[in-house]
Chains A and B, each alone.
Chain A
Amino acid sequence: MLLKGLGKGGLQDADNMRTIYILWLRQLKKYFRSRSRIIGSLGQPLLFLVTFGFGFGAIFQAAGEGSYIQFLAPGIILMSVLFTALFSGINLIWDRQFGFLKETLVAPVPRFHIMLGLTLGGSTVAIIQGFIVFFLTLPIGFKPVNLALLPVALIFVLLVAIIFTSLGTAIASLMEDMQGFQLIMNFLVMPIFFLSGAFFPLEGLPPALIAITTIDPLTYGVDGLRGALINVTSFGFMTDTLVLGLVAIFLLGLGSYLFEKIQV
């Protein structure tokens, strides 16, 4: 699927690059124009970091696990990436309801390129959001251990952003309106976040929960980012990158497949 799309017309073709570029640019423009949304979406991660970080800090320390803020911050950064990415994917539903999607679907461009532009745009926005949260964690007390590993951190943030933007697009391709939205929040986004090990170490959980955390892609993102930022990882960079990379390719393929099927 993915290869077929890339082969057709080819990405090196200037016209195709322009299609992807203008879709990407549109997402960014819309993001920077909605300042209230940017500020609003920073509230929740910061609240989590401050309340849980300081609230459980003493207990975490007493249990011999070290600083909880250090442990929590990478998960909180990915939380904002997860939410922003998934919602920019789901924004497709608004485009559909308010008609703009039709404008893109009748254009003489392969849908795969449209999907790619949307995904890259959504991912970029999610990464920016992740960066803002990262910088806000610093005054709260978060200290990255090794600054040389920041590029590695960026790779994990990028992979998580692509995974969840594609997932959002896939979901949005199946939904006609926002009615199922609450369902997705409660049964998908929240479990993905809470069971990713963002809040607690994954050792010593009941087997059922272990199973879920193992198939939760965000688990590997949190583990990888923690490795890059505070030098603590359970699976290692190789496993994390490999799992995230494969999931990203799979979801990008699934997203394009479902997007291809949309009829207005």
Chain B
Amino acid sequence: MKKEIKKIIQVNNLVKKYKNLVAVDHISFEVRAGEIYAFLGPNGAGKSTCIKMLTTILQPTEGEIILNGNNPKESKDEVRKSFGIVFQDPSLDEDLTAYENMRFHAFLYHIPKELINKRIEELLKFVELWDRRNSLVKTYSGGMKRRLEIARGLLHHPKILFLDEPTLGLDPQTREHVWNYIKNVNKKEGMTVFFTTHYMDEAERIAKWIAIIDHGKIVAQGSAADLKKLTKTKTLEDAFLALVGHNIREEEASALERLRQRRAARRR
């Protein structure tokens, strides 16, 4: 008997235009339920923009998205309940403790009262932060913050976990650690994982299916082996360079980066 595999994310001709820039240019793809799917691309390729549209915080200019059977245009809250997200930039409240950050999330996602404490304990133990649950997040290291964000993203038992460059700026040990948690939940709960990265090894080791994205377009997709075969190369890195070329990309600084630069300049 052939088992029908459910498509949990379907994207059709997605476009995001800004005044003088097309950030995402007619992208279409599908993600099967339970799969680990990676968007691999250089800086400014449109990865984050795409994730923002998938997670309802940015309005697409054109195109259709179906997440877990729902269209974000019509049933935003249904879509929002179905995913968890770890953003590229930290999104914790640093003046609250880890436990308070988790509790805040639990309230916003309407987790039943009697389950809240149990689940927070479970997840904070899972990411090994339970002992530090009452410390303010501003005393945490980068790796600890990431782990906390992952725990928070899993708190409402989402069907899909979005991760936007989840291991950016982490050391190899912490990266390993973080991926182990995620792979674990993916296997145990069958949770779909969608992540963006520009680390080749990460995409190759973790993801079943890779879409290479550049200039807002998907230039190729398939398993790492497929991509290597397609470009007749030996490594994913060579395949990547063969597909997107060797030019270095310029990315516009975000508001936060501008602020950091200003602060750094003032200190000098």
| Interface residues in chain A, defined as those with a beta carbon under 8 Å from any beta carbon in chain B | 15, 18-19, 21-22, 26, 29-30, 33-34, 95-110, 176-178, 263-264
Q: Are A264 and B58 in contact (CB under 8 A)?
A: yes
With A29-B96, A99-B91: A177-B56 Cβ-Cβ less than 8 Å: no
On chain B, the residues within 8 Å of A29 by CB distance are 95-96, 100
| Interface residues in chain B, defined as those with a beta carbon under 8 Å from any beta carbon in chain A | 52, 55-59, 76-78, 80-81, 85, 87, 89-96, 100, 103-105, 107-110, 152, 255-256, 258-259
Q: State which of B77, B87, B94 has its C-beta within 8 Å of the C-beta of A102.
A: B87
Q: State which of B78, B108, B255 has its C-beta within 8 Å of the C-beta of A109.
A: B108
Q: Are B81 and A108 in contact (CB under 8 A)?
A: yes
Chain A nearest Cβ from B92, distance in angstroms: 7
Please name 17 pairs of A and B residues whose Cβ atoms are closer than 8 Å in the assembled complex, sorted by A.
Answer: A18-B110, A22-B104, A22-B107, A95-B93, A99-B90, A99-B256, A100-B93, A102-B87, A103-B91, A106-B85, A108-B77, A108-B109, A177-B255, A177-B259, A263-B57, A263-B59, A264-B57
The 3 closest A-B pairs by CB, nearest first: A99-B91, A108-B80, A22-B107
On chain B, the residues within 8 Å of A21 by CB distance are 107
Q: Are B107 and A103 in contact (CB under 8 A)?
A: no
Q: Are B80 and A97 in contact (CB under 8 A)?
A: no
Q: Are B80 and A107 in contact (CB under 8 A)?
A: yes
Chain B nearest Cβ from A174, distance in angstroms: 13
On chain B, the residues within 8 Å of A109 by CB distance are 77, 108
Q: Are A100 and B91 in contact (CB under 8 A)?
A: yes
On chain A, the residues within 8 Å of B91 by CB distance are 99-103
On chain A, the residues within 8 Å of B77 by CB distance are 108-110
Q: Are A98 and B107 in contact (CB under 8 A)?
A: no
Complex-state Cα separation, A15 to B94, whole angstroms: 25
Chain A nearest Cβ from B232, distance in angstroms: 41
Q: Find the residue from A15, A96, A108, A110 having the highest chain B CB count within 10 A.
A: A108
Q: Are A26 and B108 in contact (CB under 8 A)?
A: no
Chain B nearest Cβ from A140, distance in angstroms: 32
Given contacts A22-B107, A98-B256, 15 further A-B contacts (CB under 8 A): A18-B110, A22-B103, A98-B94, A100-B91, A103-B104, A104-B108, A106-B57, A106-B85, A107-B105, A107-B108, A108-B108, A108-B109, A110-B77, A263-B57, A263-B59
Complex-state Cα separation, A247 to B241, whole angstroms: 59
Complex-state Cα separation, A34 to B93, whole angstroms: 14
Complex-state Cα separation, A56 to B85, whole angstroms: 59
Q: Which residue on B lies nearest to A22, using beta carbons? A: B107
On chain B, the residues within 8 Å of A263 by CB distance are 57-59
Complex-state Cα separation, A97 to B105, whole angstroms: 19
Chain A nearest Cβ from B117, distance in angstroms: 15
With A18-B110, A102-B87, A106-B80: A97-B58 Cβ-Cβ less than 8 Å: no
Q: Which residue on A lies nearest to B77, using beta carbons? A: A108
Q: Are A102 and B57 in contact (CB under 8 A)?
A: yes
Chain A nearest Cβ from B58, distance in angstroms: 5
Q: Which residue on A lies nearest to B256, using beta carbons? A: A97
Q: Are B96 and A97 in contact (CB under 8 A)?
A: no
With A106-B56, A106-B85, A263-B59: A19-B107 Cβ-Cβ less than 8 Å: yes
Q: Are B258 and A106 in contact (CB under 8 A)?
A: no
Complex-state Cα separation, A263 to B92, whole angstroms: 18
Complex-state Cα separation, A18 to B58, whole angstroms: 26
On chain B, the residues within 8 Å of A19 by CB distance are 107-108, 110
Q: Which residue on A lies nearest to B55, using beta carbons? A: A106
On chain A, the residues within 8 Å of B104 by CB distance are 22, 26, 103
Q: Are B59 and A99 in contact (CB under 8 A)?
A: no
Q: Are A26 and B81 in contact (CB under 8 A)?
A: no
Chain A nearest Cβ from B93, distance in angstroms: 5
Q: Are A99 and B87 in contact (CB under 8 A)?
A: yes
Complex-state Cα separation, A102 to B105, whole angstroms: 12
Complex-state Cα separation, A263 to B60, whole angstroms: 11
On chain A, the residues within 8 Å of B100 by CB distance are 26, 29
On chain B, the residues within 8 Å of A264 by CB distance are 52, 57-58
On chain B, the residues within 8 Å of A105 by CB distance are 57
Complex-state Cα separation, A240 to B73, whole angstroms: 43
With A26-B104, A29-B100, A108-B81: A99-B57 Cβ-Cβ less than 8 Å: no
Complex-state Cα separation, A34 to B96, whole angstroms: 11
On chain B, the residues within 8 Å of A110 by CB distance are 77
On chain A, the residues within 8 Å of B58 by CB distance are 263-264
